[in-house]
Amino acid sequence: MTRTPLSGPESAPYRRENFELGDAMSIREVATLLGCSVWSVRQRFLPKGLPHFRSGPSGKIVFFRQQVVAWILAQQAQMKGGVRK
């Protein structure tokens, strides 16, 4: 039996730890994490690139904790004195 890149646990790009997204979060949980309202998440942060997954064209929006935290850190790194670098 030949092994494909997807079949072996030793294939680095497909290891589980490369896909750790953290807990799934609702939009309310993300709003709490960011310290803002659900409206702000939808109207301000989604258009700015806040990572999310939509389960269908009009489906529920799901966020993953690790992605949200990484996005927040990247946004902070771009700021200098409250103004974008």
What topology does CATH give the domain 21-84?
Answer: Arc Repressor Mutant, subunit A (1.10.10)
- Domain-by-domain residue ranges, the chain? 21-84
Task: Report the alpha-carbon distance of residue 50 to residue 64 in Å, rounded.
Answer: 10
In this predicted model, what pLDDT tens digit does every residue of 56-65 receive, in sequence order? 888 899 999 9
Task: Report the alpha-carbon distance of residue 57 to residue 71 in Å, rounded.
Answer: 24
Give the model's confidence band at 83: pLDDT under 50 very low, under 70 low, under 90 confident, else very high. low
pLDDT of residue 79: 76
What tokens does 38 get? 């659900």
DSSP class of 43:
I
pTM of the complete model: 0.68
